[in-house]
């Protein structure tokens, strides 16, 4: 019997690690990874699927799937002030009511939307664990399997991050009653990681997460990291998102959050620092020296009034970054990149702040896109990422009829893709060598939307 030939794609233009290349041949291996990528192939080989403009998928490096059920429901104010903390208290309502079955429906809808937004892998910062009374389910990972099943159903890659969450604050040794579904220990988190990895579900991996320094004691943080000695997956943590968190950390430890992590010798290339909104230059220096990465969530940080990160300092130090959809008020990476730049334009009152013409990077979109691509694989525990041999065969095919990119010269195509909006960007999306979106549509979209609507009606029946 003849061996079946590897599938071939031929793209008129593709974004490779060094930028745009023309007439690119891409061969998909039997393992669902890129076996070969060759630019400058003038004629498509026989049997190759011919495509127009192709980009790599992106990792959504910070997601709380259950919060998709809360998106749009916190945009009214009935008190004198509305802050992150008042938003959080209202968000707990859905956290206290949702069932594993409802989470699966909500996650499936979200994951289709993320695929349509150009994400092909999602990192679930997963702290919703127990039954409504705070007791474990018969299967302690019922919520984890709901997320894994949703990801499998719609075809997106998933990195589950069970979260260490054990206290309400630096001076509050226990959880609040409305946090009872979140309780974990260093031991239970590590066991969850092993169990998830042991499932060996295609497209599913696991890392570990620490909710924040305020929500986990120093002893537990150390125990979790020591227990994971030799672990090759990512370690995620919320850090310095709010000024109150920084102030409380200073009062409790004498150090700012990132400075404390660095002083304890914890940071290394596995660490993903989510938000890092309120930092000082010395902390960014420490992150750069350690090899740790930063995950930014611009639309959520804007929606919650968190503040703006030191993007110029992060870029100047060469700290790898990537993006997260976080609270799910936006599910498209182009909007995240726009707000990453627009926040800086507003505060600096300048344009193209992230461009670096002195380093031959005059395009803001290209520089930021390159940065978030470089950070993506590590955030998800992927050994390689992008249109490069050995990386998973994920791809985004640009909609050739998108008005914003019609007639654009190649040198400005990515600029238009990011900064000229809105429009349906992707004609097709591939994950692990399989097309999961066709003509911008997911085959299960209608069914998932109906199930999602029923879950929403059940959750919010009382208004």
Q: What is the pLDDT of residues 278-297, one digit of tens each?
A: 999 999 999 999 999 999 99
CA distance 138 to 106: 22
Among 327, 374, 395, 397, smallest CA distance to 120 is for: 395
CA distance 14 to 39: 9
DSSP tag of 78: -
Q: What is the pLDDT of residues 246-273, one digit of tens each?
A: 999 999 999 999 999 999 999 999 999 9
What is the predicted pLDDT for the residue at 155?
A: 98
Q: Which phi and psi (to 5°) does residue 447 adopt?
A: -65, -45
Classify residue 433 by burial, with Cβ atoms within 10 Å: 0-12, 13-18, 19+: buried
Active site residue 326: yes
DSSP tag of 328: S
Q: Where are the alpha helices (DSSP H) in 48-99?
A: 84-97
Of 93 and 259, more confident? 259
Among 257, 212, 205, smallest CA distance to 231 is for: 205
What residues contact residue 197 under an 8 Å CB cut-off, 6+ apart?
205, 206
Q: Which run of H or E residues covers position 235?
A: strand 235-239
* 66 has pLDDT over 60: yes
CA distance 184 to 179: 11
Whether the Cβ atoms of residue 205 and residue 159 lie closer than 8 Å to each other: yes
* 2 has pLDDT over 50: no
Among 376, 387, 382, 391, smallest CA distance to 61 is for: 376
Pairing of strands 321-323, 157-164: unpaired
- 3-class DSSP assignment, residue 340: helix
Whether the Cβ atoms of residue 393 and residue 379 lie closer than 8 Å to each other: no
Residue-range domain boundaries for the chain = 8-56+386-442, 58-380
What's the whole-number mean pLDDT along residues 321-350?
97
What's the whole-number mean pLDDT along residues 327-332?
97
| Residue-by-residue DSSP string for 104-143 | HHHHHHHHHHHHHTTEEEEEEEE---S-TTSPPPSSTTHH
Q: Is the pTM of this model over 0.85?
A: yes
What's the whole-number mean pLDDT along residues 232-259?
97
The token pair that represents 68 in the structure block: 């998709």
Q: Which phi and psi (to 5°) does residue 242 adopt?
A: -120, 145
CA distance 210 to 95: 18
Say which CATH class 58-380 falls into: alpha beta
Active site residue 275: yes
For residue 85, give Cα distances in angstroms to 162, 173, 243.
23, 19, 12
What percent of the chain clears pLDDT 70, i.e. is strictly above it? 98
- 3-class DSSP assignment, residue 163: strand
Strand partners, 102: none
Superfamily of domain 8-56+386-442: Urease, subunit C, domain 1 (2.30.40.10)
CA distance 61 to 193: 17
Catalytic residue among 275, 278, 378, 442: 275
* 343 has pLDDT over 70: yes
What's the whole-number mean pLDDT along residues 12-38?
97
Catalytic residue among 326, 332, 394, 415: 326
CA distance 132 to 97: 7
- 3-class DSSP assignment, residue 259: helix
What is the number of other CB atoms lying within 10 angstroms of the CB of residue 223? Answer: 18
DSSP tag of 264: T
CA distance 205 to 197: 6
Mean pLDDT of the chain: 96
The token pair that represents 427 in the structure block: 């004609």
CA distance 272 to 156: 21
Strand partners, 219: none
CA distance 303 to 326: 11
Q: Which run of H or E residues covers position 150?
A: helix 142-154
CA distance 239 to 233: 19
What confidence tier does 4 reach under pLDDT thresholds 50, 70, 90? low
* 3 has pLDDT over 80: no
Classify residue 127 by burial, with Cβ atoms within 10 Å: 0-12, 13-18, 19+: buried
* 314 has pLDDT over 80: yes
What residues contact residue 328 under an 8 Å CB cut-off, 6+ apart?
63, 64, 65, 67, 68, 70, 71, 110
CA distance 32 to 10: 17
Tokens 């940080």 locate to 301
């Amino acid at each position: 019997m003849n061996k079946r030939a590897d599938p071939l794609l031929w793209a008129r233009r593709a974004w490779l690690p060094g930028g745009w290349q023309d007439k690119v041949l891409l061969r998909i291996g039997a393992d669902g990874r890129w076996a070969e990528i060759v630019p400058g192939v003038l004629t498509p080989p026989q049997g190759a699927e011919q495509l127009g403009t192709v980009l790599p998928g992106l990792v959504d490096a910070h997601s709380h799937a259950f919060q998709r059920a809360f998106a749009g429901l916190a945009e009214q104010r009935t008190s004198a002030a509305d802050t992150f903390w008042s938003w959080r208290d209202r968000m707990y309502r859905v956290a206290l009511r949702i069932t594993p079955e409802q989470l699966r429906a909500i996650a499936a809808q979200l994951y289709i939307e993320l695929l349509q937004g150009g994400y092909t892998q999602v990192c679930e910062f997963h702290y919703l664990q127990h039954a409504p009374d705070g007791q474990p389910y018969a299967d302690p990972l019922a919520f984890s399997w709901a997320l894994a099943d949703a990801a499998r159903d719609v075809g997106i890659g998933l990195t589950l991050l069970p979260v260490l969450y054990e206290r309400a604050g630096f001076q509050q040794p226990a959880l609040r009653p409305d946090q009872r579904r979140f309780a974990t220990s260093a031991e239970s988190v590590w066991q969850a990681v092993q169990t998830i990895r042991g499932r060996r579900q295609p497209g599913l991996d696991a890392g570990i997460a620490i909710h924040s320094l305020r929500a986990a004691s120093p002893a537990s943080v150390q125990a979790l990291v020591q227990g994971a000695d030799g672990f090759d997956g990512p370690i995620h943590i919320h850090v310095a998102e709010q000024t109150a968190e920084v102030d409380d950390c200073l009062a409790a430890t004498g150090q700012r959050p990132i400075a404390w992590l660095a002083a304890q010798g914890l940071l290394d290339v596995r660490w993903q620092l989510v938000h890092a909104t309120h930092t000082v230059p010395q902390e960014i220096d420490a992150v750069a020296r350690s090899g740790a990465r930063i995950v930014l969530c611009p639309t959520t940080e804007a929606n919650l009034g968190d503040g703006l990160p030191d993007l110029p300092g992060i870029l100047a130090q060469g700290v790898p970054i990537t993006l997260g959809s976080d609270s799910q008020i936006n599910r498209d990476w182009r909007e995240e990149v726009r707000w990453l730049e627009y926040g800086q334009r507003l505060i600096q009152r300048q344009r193209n702040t992230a461009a670096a013409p002195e380093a031959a990077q005059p395009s803001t979109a290209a520089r930021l896109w390159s940065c978030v691509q470089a950070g993506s694989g590590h955030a998800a525990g992927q050994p390689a990422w992008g249109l490069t041999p050995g990386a998973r065969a994920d791809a985004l095919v640009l909609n050739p009829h998108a008005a914003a990119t019609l007639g654009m010269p190649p040198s400005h195509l990515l600029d238009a893709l990011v900064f000229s909006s809105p429009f349906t960007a992707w004609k097709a999306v591939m994950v692990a060598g399989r097309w999961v979106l066709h003509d911008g549509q997911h085959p299960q979209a209608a069914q998932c939307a109906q199930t999602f609507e029923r879950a929403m009606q059940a959750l919010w029946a009382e208004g």
